[in-house]
Amino acid sequence: MDFFLDKNMESEIMKVSADVFSAVNLIMNPTTPEIERRKAHELLEHFKDTSPLCAKAGFFLIARSNPPVIRRCGFQLIENYVKLHWNNINADEKVCIKNNTMQILASGTGPVLEEVMYIKDALSRVVVELAKREWPQNWASLMEELHNICRLGDAQRELVLLIFTRLTEDIVHFQNIPEKRRKEMYAVLSSHVPNLFTFFHETLTEKSEKYIAKNQCKITDSETLTNCRIIQVTLETLSVFVDWVPILNFTEKRPLFSLLCKLLHYPDLCLHSAKCLLNILERKGKPSDRNVLLFFFEEIDIFNAINNKNVRSLDASSHLFFKEFLQCLLALASNLSTSIDQFAVGIPQNFSLYLNCVLVFTCHPSVVLSHLAQIIWLHIFRNAKLSTNECIVELVPTLLKYEAEKLIKCGYPSKDDCISCNFSLLTFDSDEEFEIEFSNCLVLKACRELRCYPCHLTAVQN
């Protein structure tokens, strides 16, 4: 540690650290009497709120030799001290806290696959709280330091990604910083976006190449699992950026988003990829911004993502992916419809591939998935140019057949009289919830939309 302590001070810190250690153990022990647990809580809260030794004790408690629950408490003590007392401590102590924290970050926590998530999260939150008070005015080198720390290993890279996620959430999404300060930080963070996107792309490229090579050989070793984890965290971090950064970043960093679509094909990565893609496609902004996002129709990997997947799998994670995937298709339909009306764009070249994906889920036994497909068809039928497209007209007889089948109410989670019941168990806790979803289903409305166009009626008659 960088704190310069005399022997008396060091002895006192060790004593209070031991007291905190004992208090945490009492709180966590299920056999502790309620009175003792309450006293331990009071001691810990009093220490956190009032002691000037809070951060110093925290640095003692985060030693890797301590149990995870003790280490988490140590990080929480440091975080709490920064939140409550930062403006009242001297410059030397501030520098010591920053230096110690960055040294711990550089040394990493435990290995990526072994360290518990709440320890990683706790350390990242300490760095974020420091950044919210010091960056960039008193800590101009923060981004460079984080970039250099990433080079030290996967454990460090994961921690830095978590820091970027938490910092962006606080600045952009939660906005839990005083407004003037938040605007300053927002401006500086925005200026770093191009470099951050380059970092995300380099990380995804490096790790996905290694992961895919091992995946193709069906090798699942610790390196493969570590690469998978880093890809997942990178996608989670990218997700908190894509809904607010300037639209120019999507055209300038096109290869990054092509890679994102490619990752939809891999079971351990597809859900993270779909969530990130959905954040992009649903981002708010001007119609011209939504028009830019139509380049995703050129990404064939999106429409091939379900080719090798069992769309009727009862696996919960697969069902969740298909739900996110359909919401992506819905956002694509919405963006396309808006752009056709306002910018007279043409029908995308891969529109038939897109429609085939929607069609797969139109007759799906899951009420939730088929409902999402119905909403997509409604967006299409309500647009004059889309609804009269040759690809749509050819599908009308098939669609009407599927719609008629969906008018039959079945799939109650309490029953077992059809395959839909099994899918309902993944989503609904009661028959009442199922009833509400089924009632909201837009099958009848979709049928009416289908019959509104003469070309559709002609297609049916033929």
- Average per-residue pLDDT for the chain: 91
**What is the b/e burial string over 7-33, where b = at least 16 CB atoms within 10 angstroms of the residue's CB?**
eeeeeebeebbeebbebbebbeeeeee
Identity of the amino acid at 342:
Q
Question: Is-contact 434 428, C-beta < 8 A?
Answer: yes
Average pLDDT (98-105) is 96
Question: The whole model's pTM is what?
Answer: 0.91
Question: Is-contact 255 203, C-beta < 8 A?
Answer: no
Average pLDDT (286-294) is 93
Question: Is-contact 112 154, C-beta < 8 A?
Answer: yes
Instruction: Provide the token pair at 41.
Output: 């809580």
Please, which contacts does 432-437 make with residues 24 or more away whose CB atoms are closer than 8 Å? Answer: 434/367, 437/367, 437/368, 437/371
Whole-angstrom Cα distance, residue 301 to residue 307?
10
pLDDT of residue 4: 47
Kindly tell me the sign of the dihedral angle through the C-alpha atoms of 388, 459, 359, 353.
Answer: negative
DSSP 297: G
* Secondary structure (DSSP) of 169-182: IIIIIS--S-HHHH
Residues 6+ apart with CB under 8 A from 301: 258, 261, 262, 264, 265
Q: 304 in helix, strand or coil?
A: coil
Whole-angstrom Cα distance, residue 105 to residue 91?
21
Peptide bond connecting 136 to the previous residue in cis, omega within 30 degrees of 0: yes
Instruction: Provide the token pair at 397.
Output: 């007889």
Give 345-402 pLDDT, tens digit per residue.
999 999 999 999 999 999 888 888 988 998 899 889 889 899 889 999 888 888 888 8
Average pLDDT (216-222) is 90
Give 297-314 pLDDT, tens digit per residue.
999 999 999 998 999 899
* 436 or 8, which is more confident: 436
pLDDT of residue 8: 65
Give 45-54 pLDDT, tens digit per residue.
999 999 999 9
Identity of the amino acid at 310:
N
DSSP 90: -
pLDDT band at 420 (very low <50, low <70, confident <90, very high): confident
Identity of the amino acid at 337:
S
CA 119, distance to chain mean position in Å, is 19
Question: Is-contact 113 225, C-beta < 8 A?
Answer: yes
Identity of the amino acid at 20:
V
